[in-house]
């Protein structure tokens, strides 16, 4: 198995850009390896784990496809719920009261999203993977930067599957989670934006006129480094 480094995980620089927005020097971020915690591996483990959720998602609508989309969503919610649970346990917010309140609220939301999706899928739900977030759930600056990336990814992931859903109630359910995730994304961006507002437009809480959807493969490529087994 090939161990990942931050360069391979964050190939487009999104995490490091977010780190800079909260005051963490890019070179220091690389040295600390915010996302390169022990046990992060490349290869087929993640996709074999998520095969039912990812490989067969199609643009051809069907009830079976809806199940795969829900499992894709559940996997992302597993990841986010565990990320925030560990951040709370490790006091990753440090002395930042605003970040702590965000963590408490969002941790509760993500745990309830998991419960909701598991309830909808019942016996068809995928199993929860094991995760390793490294220093991203212990270092306050790394935590805040990673939270921003994860929330942005969640929004684009839900949006990316909207056109593939057949059943109206499932589309509505996904929409109710999508809107909450969008609020999370704006909230953490508001926390991370410099107080003097000397920031690029891309770092603002609402950076664009239209949100960009992402395919399941794009989303899972970003999430894969966090999967341990």
- The verdict on residue 176 lying in a domain is yes
Alpha-carbon distance values, 52 to 56, 121, 174 (Å): 7, 13, 19
Q: Any idea of the CA torsion for 53, 174, 15, 96, to the nearest 10 degrees?
A: -130
Query: Tokens at residue 164, please?
Result: 């593939």
- The verdict on residue 164 lying in a domain is yes
- The verdict on residue 18 lying in a domain is yes
Domain count, the chain: 1
CATH number at residue 220: 1.20.1260
Using the structure block, give the residue that is written with the tokens 């346990």: 89
Q: Confirm whether pTM is higher than 0.85.
A: no
pLDDT of residue 184: 97
pLDDT of residue 42: 28
Q: What percent of the chain stands above pLDDT 90?
A: 57
pLDDT of residue 41: 28
φ/ψ of residue 116, rounded to 5: -65, -50
* Average model confidence (pLDDT) across the chain: 79
- The verdict on residue 1 lying in a domain is no
Q: Are 184 and 157 in contact (CB under 8 A)?
A: no
* Structural domain range at position 78: 6-226
- The verdict on residue 145 lying in a domain is yes
- The verdict on residue 218 lying in a domain is yes
Tally of CB atoms within 10 A around 90: 14
Residues of the chain short of pLDDT 50, as ranges, are: 1-12, 21-23, 29-55
- The verdict on residue 87 lying in a domain is yes
């Amino acid at each position: 198995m090939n161990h990942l480094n931050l360069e391979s995980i964050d190939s487009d620089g999104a995490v490091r850009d977010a780190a800079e927005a909260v005051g963490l020097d890019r070179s220091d971020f690389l040295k600390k390896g915010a996302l390169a915690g022990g046990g992060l591996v490349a290869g087929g483990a993640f996709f074999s784990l998520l095969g039912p959720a990812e490989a067969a998602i199609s643009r051809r609508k069907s009830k079976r496809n809806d199940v795969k989309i829900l499992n894709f969503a559940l996997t992302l919610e597993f990841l986010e719920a565990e990320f925030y649970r560990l951040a709370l346990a490790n006091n990753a917010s440090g002395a930042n009261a605003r970040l702590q309140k965000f963590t408490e609220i969002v941790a509760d939301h993500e745990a309830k999203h998991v419960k909701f999706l598991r309830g909808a899928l019942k016996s068809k739900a995928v199993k929860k993977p094991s995760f390793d977030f490294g220093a991203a759930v212990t270092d306050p600056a790394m935590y805040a930067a990673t939270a921003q990336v994860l929330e942005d990814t969640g929004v684009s992931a839900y949006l990316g599957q909207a056109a593939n859903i057949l059943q109206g109630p499932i589309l509505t359910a996904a929409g109710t989670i999508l809107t909450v995730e969008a609020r999370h994304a704006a909230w953490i961006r508001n926390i991370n934006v410099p107080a003097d507002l000397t920031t690029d437009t891309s770092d603002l809480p609402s950076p664009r006129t239209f949100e960009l959807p992402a395919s399941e493969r794009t989303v899972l490529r970003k999430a894969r480094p966090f999967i341990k087994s």
